[in-house]
Structures are given as C-alpha cells and as structure tokens.
Amino acid sequence: MLNIENLHAEIDGKEILKGLSLTVNAGEVHAIMGPNGAGKSTLGYVLGGRPGYEVTSGSVTFAGQDLLDMAPHERAAAGLFLGFQYPVEIPGVSNVQFLREALNAQRKVRGEAPLSGGEFLKLARAQADLLAMDQEMLKRPVNVGFSGGEKKRNEMVQMGIIGPKLAILDETDSGLDIDALRVVGDGINRIMRAPDKAVLLITHYQRLLDYVRPDFVHVLADGRIVRSGGAELAHELEAEGYGAMAA
C-alpha cells in the first residue's frame, strides 16, 4: 500500500529525513518510535503534503500512485488520513459543517454522490457514540475549547467518518488519560483494523501499543530507520531507552 524508498527531506534548508525506507502493506499496523528530533513528525508531514517540507530525493508510492506528485487534497481523496499531534482549532466552523464538506469533497473526487444532510448526521452521530463523544460537540467550532483528550476523540470521529485506507497518526496518545487512551485505541482498531487498510502510528511511548498492537515496530533515529522488529521491540525500548537501540 505504502512504499517509501530512500526518502530525503528538509525544512528551512536543514535535512531531517536522511534516506528513510519503509514498506507498509494492507492489513498491517506499523509503529514508528524514536527520540525527539529523530524525524517522526517530519515523516508524517511529508507524507501528508504539508507545505514547507521539501523532498530532495527518494520516492513514495501509495496505492500504486506517486504520492509526492499529488496535492494534499488529492492524497486525502486517495485515502490518506493524517492525525496531528496537536489538532488545530478552526473558529467559526462547526464540526458538522467541516466534516460534511470534507467527506463530500472526497466523494466527489471519487465519483460518488454526496451525502444528504440527514445521511451525514446519521453517520456522524453513530461515530460520535462509538467514541463516547457528546453529540453536542459536533455542533461546536472545530476543536475550539476542547481539552487535549477531546481533540483526539474528535479526530477519531473524523477518521471514522472519512474512512481512509491509510491512517498516519502522529502521537495520538499525547495528552490522553487512561480512559481516553483506551477509547481512542479501541477506535483505531474498529476503524482501521481491516484487510484493505493500514496504520502508521508515530509515538514516543509503548502505552498506546497495549491497545493497538502493531505488526511491526521501527526505531527512527537521525532521519533513518535503524532497527525494526515485532511488538516486543516496543517493550525493549521502554526498558532500555532509545540510546541503546540507535547506537
């Protein structure tokens, strides 16, 4: 589904990714772990198409398409979802309005009919219920006044509504208490654990992986993947730290 070959990328002239290669197949969950400054968030931003991040060499294909040749909205319509470490606030725009426009824009690109207001509300309310999110929050401006945990739940509701093929989740566990972590983990499993979908989890800590068990764990250090293994590698990192792994 996703194939990254010798990816080099920089921001403001500083190279962050220094020859990263990774293959994610449909039906798999991959976790990217590593110290601060290793390039984890940069990888997510590059794949999502965030402005300011320049790819200097290498290639990325997604579902058989050249991802780097696609605009951010085209990547989203193709099935890529990027979850942010710090979800942005959008004052003046309600969750319902934002999500309906986003979903119908993607459906239009795929040649699908738009959902009516009633059809969309039924879908949105069902997803909110599954994430234990108060439906009144669907009417509020996007993420405005939300706690950290509420923002992450809202992002999972967005993911459930959009139904992507590949979810890249950048430190989704950040700011979550124990109960919220379990709800979000269950949401990821429910929405993305399928033979035709895949997940790339970017995280510092092993705790999210207790709920979303990865098929593969990769250690990212200094812009490269320096070690890969199974779920047990996350426990080694928790016990020994990143220094020993990256050495």
Nearest to 165 by CA among 231, 77, 104, 242: 77
- Let me know: does 216 contact 229? Beta carbons within 8 Å: yes
pLDDT per position as a tens digit, 180-203: 888 888 889 989 999 999 999 998
Using CA of residue 187, residue 193, residue 198, residue 201, what is the dihedral sign? positive
Size of the chain, expressed as the number of residues it contains: 247
Most confident of 25-29, 98-102, 167-171: 25-29
Read off φ and ψ for residue 177, nearest 5 degrees: -80, 180
3-state SS assignment for residue 31: strand
pLDDT per position as a tens digit, 149-183: 888 888 889 999 999 999 999 888 877 788 888 88
Distances, alpha carbon 55 to alpha carbons 22, 152, 229, 243, in Å: 16, 29, 27, 27
Token pair 């509701």 is found at: 157
Band (247; pLDDT cuts 50, 70, 90): very low
State the pTM of this model. Answer: 0.89
3-state SS assignment for residue 14: strand
Our measurement of the distance from residue 66's CA atom to the centroid of its chain's CA atoms, rounded to an integer in Å, reads 19
Band (37; pLDDT cuts 50, 70, 90): confident
